[in-house]
Structure 1
Amino acid sequence: MNTTLLVHSFSPFPTLSISVPDDTPINSVLPLLNAKYPSLPTAGLFLSPHSGLVAEDATIGSLCDEHESLLSLRLSPRLLGGKGGFGSQLRAAGGRMSSQKTSNNDSCRDLNGRRLSTIKEAKKLAEYLESEPDRLAAKAEAQKAKLEALERKLGITPSSSGAGSSKSPADSSEPPKLAGTKHRFDDTEYLEQSRDLVDGVKSAVSAGESESIPSSSSITNNSS
């Protein structure tokens, strides 16, 4: 029994047709097509049904449905492969991407119904409060060291060592200590000028406010 084959080729070749016995292997159909169509090349081509690739020794009868004498095949060129290695590189890149992907579960809830983000914030707050004394102590130490450095720069004896140390008042080589000494400012002319300037500014502000805000009598007259 013969089966008619409809071979869908690629441009510029049209759809080819040929009749072959059912026991013909699929790899033997291509030489038969070349014998019928001499212009059709055979190198680098292969035949396959539309369902996909099949074994080269599969017969035409095994590819046909029962009681059918028509089979559609597809003629395709073979694609030359490269040197390889791209697939492994792609898999390695995918593995790196998946390892770098972080999972954010903050919106999830635990068995008690609390969000994980709330639990994390509570833990951070507890750790912060637990380390609060250490931070305060470090801050106090830094302020104390800064104050001692400033006292040394100004020539002030620290209070801790002032009770136990005694210096002779006749020591003239020690520079005079200016820190802690009260000074009276006796420039009366400057004080008077400063007072006059302040009074002038206050008067100007009061005059500007009185001009910008209308009096109650004028408002009454306008409304009437």
Structure 2
Amino acid sequence: MSLQTVFLHLPTPLASVQLSLPSSTPLSALPLPSTLDPTTYYLRTTVSSPLSASTTLDSLRHVDSPSHPISLHLCPRLPGGKGGFGSQLRAAGGRMSTGKATNVDSCRDLSGRRLGTIKEAQRQAELLESEPALRAQAQAADKSKLEALERKLGITPADALIGSDDNGEGSSKRRVEDVDLEELARKKHKFEDNKFLEESREINENVRAAVSKAFLLKKKKKAKATDVSAEADKKVDQAKKAEKDKLAMPPPPAATVA
């Protein structure tokens, strides 16, 4: 019976083992460390998937060189979970796809024009089509404002006096032509917004109080600086006077020698 050389690579920190076993030896008969639990590891070659315990060394020989050593790796089994990883990946992919940019204005169509240019041209065409309606809406708004102002001033347009006589009787309002605008401008109007007047008065009082406070602080700082400078000048004068008195003091009399 021929012997087969086997290199058994154990997990770190265990060292690799070289064995010489009969070629008919199954993997379950390999002399593995007794501390290893068979349910916690599996054997495989460098290029194969996990091998069953009944696999023999003869079936693992190289076809081209049967005498070539066989390398076996002892790999620990990893406990699996309950699944759900694929669904998590799909959910993450959906979130990533929704966050992608959808702006394709820089792309071009088959004629070579950019999609952003085409959209802008369509928007300009829609604006040109809706321009008469917008203009009519603006004119109606201006007309309603003018009518409201005329009602406030007691003026009625000429078309509102249809049905009255030539003298304008039958209506208590005046025509625009009959109104003296200069006299209307000279007339005094009383402003009766009490809330605005109260807020204006309060703002003025707050401004006056803030300005008065600022001037008072400025005066206090100026007076304090003046006191400090006066005290410094007083100390300088005292030092000068002491120096002057010292210089004016007569020298002591000389001692006589017997």
Structure 1 residue ranges without an equivalent (≥5):
186-224
1:222 is aligned to: none
Equivalent of residue 33 in structure 1, options 31, 34, 37: 31
2:181 is the alignment partner of 1:181: yes
Q: Distance in 2 between matches of 1:2 and 1:103?
A: 68
TM-score (normalizing by structure 1): 0.63
Structure 1 residue identity aligned to 2:182: K
Counterpart residue identity of residue 130, structure 1: E
| 3-state secondary structure, aligned to 2:72 | strand
In 1, are the aligned partners of 2:42 and 2:50 still within 8 Å (CA)?
no
Query: Given the alignment of the two structures, is residue 63 of structure 1 paired with residue 60 of structure 2, yes or no?
Result: yes
What is residue 14 of structure 2 aligned with on the other side?
Answer: 13
For residue 116 of structure 1, what is the amino acid of its counterpart?
L
Cα distance in 2 between the residues matched to 1:82 and 1:9: 26
Aligned twin of 2:196:
none
Determine if the alignment matches structure 1 residue 51 to structure 2 residue 47.
yes
Indicate the structure whose relative CO is greater, using CA pairs within 8 Å and at least 6 residues apart. Answer: 1
Alignment of 1:144-223 (within 5 A): 144-164=143-163, 166-167=168-169, 181-183=181-183
Deviation at 1:78, TM superposition (A): 1.0
1:44-67 CA distance string (max 9 Å, x none): 111122224145255434433221
1:115, 1:91 → 2: CA distance?
34
Counterpart-to-counterpart distance in 2, 1:125 and 1:111 = 22
SS in 2 for 1:10: coil
TM-score normalized with structure 2 length = 0.56
CA deviations on 1:58-103 (whole Å, 9 max, x unpaired) are 5434433221431222212111112222321221231243255344
Distance in 2 (CA, whole Å) between partners of 1:8 and 1:140 is 93
Question: Which whole-Å deviations, capped at 9, do the CAs of 1:79-131 have from their partners, x for residues lacking one?
Answer: 11122223212212312432553444333322322222222221121112111
- Separation in 1, partners of 2:90, 2:129: 47
Note the residue ranges of structure 2 that are not aligned, 5 or more in a row: 187-258
- What secondary structure does 1:18 align onto? strand
TM-aligned CA distance change 1:164 to 1:7, over 3 Å: farther
- SS of alignment partner, residue 39 of structure 2: coil
Q: Kindly, what percent of the aligned residue pairs are identical? A: 46
User: Would you say the 8 A contact 2:43–2:75 is kept in 1?
Assistant: yes
Q: For 1:79 and 1:33, how far apart are their aligned partners in 2?
A: 23
Residue 117 of structure 1 aligns to a residue whose secondary structure is helix
Larger Rg: 2
- Number of equivalent positions: 176
Tell me how far apart the structure 2 counterparts of residues 159 and 23 of structure 1 sit (CA, whole Å).
122
Aligned partner of 2:84 in structure 1 is 85
The 1-side partners of 2:114 and 2:5 are apart by 69
Mapped partners of 2:163, 2:47: distance in 1? 104
From the superposition, tell whether residues 79 and 137 of structure 1 become closer, same or farther in structure 2 (CA, over 3 Å): same
Counterpart Cα distance in 1 of 2:102 and 2:58? 55
